[in-house]
A = this chain, B = another copy of it.
Amino acid sequence: MEVSRETDEKYMRLAIKEAQEAFDSQEVPVGAVIVSGGRVVGRGHNLVETLVDVTAHAEIQAITAAASTLGGKYLTDCTLYVTVEPCVMCAGALAWSQIGRIVYGASDAKRGYSRIGASLLHPRTKVTSGVLAEECEMLMVDFFAKLR
């Protein structure tokens, strides 16, 4: 299925809204939504500090929520929108979920899965990067500038 840039940007804006919530809670600002058939079936933002749990990334929350909404563990017909390139842990989780498509905003040269190689994902998962990348990146830059 062809998805327009407008549609991708619409859902990325919802992911950015999630990231803003993380930012406002003094969390590294990453947000995610999962969409299936034009409906948001899961969302989440980074809660690592709040939950004292390194596994509480935005993507993990969104995957768990989407599976709960859909009543099944496989997300083959879903698209994940996430503001920052997923890390290795999240790429591994997305592989298990067999998610249909991943759309991310900013790249993460240090922690992103693609420094390891696309083989971390499920072979049928499609990836689009750079959607509203500047906006996603600015949240991260602002956050880490505040910490200094």
Chain A residues within CB distance 8 Å of chain B = 48-49, 52-55, 60, 63-64, 67-68, 71-74, 87-93, 95-97, 116-117, 119-120
Contact = CB atoms under 8 A, between A and B. Distances in A.
Given A54-B63, A54-B74, 8 more contacts: A49-B73, A52-B72, A53-B64, A55-B64, A88-B91, A89-B89, A89-B91, A116-B117
Nearest to A65: B53
A91 B87 CA distance: 11
Contacts of A55: 55, 60, 63-64, 93, 96
Q: Interface centre among A48, A53, A55, A119, by most B CB within 10 Å?
A: A55
A93 B63 contact: no
Interface of A is mostly: helix
A91 B16 CA distance: 27
Q: Interface centre among A48, A63, A64, A71, by most B CB within 10 Å?
A: A64
B88 A92 contact: yes
A92 B96 contact: no
Contacts of A72: 52
A89 B86 CA distance: 11
Given A55-B55, A55-B60, A73-B53, A92 B97 contact: no
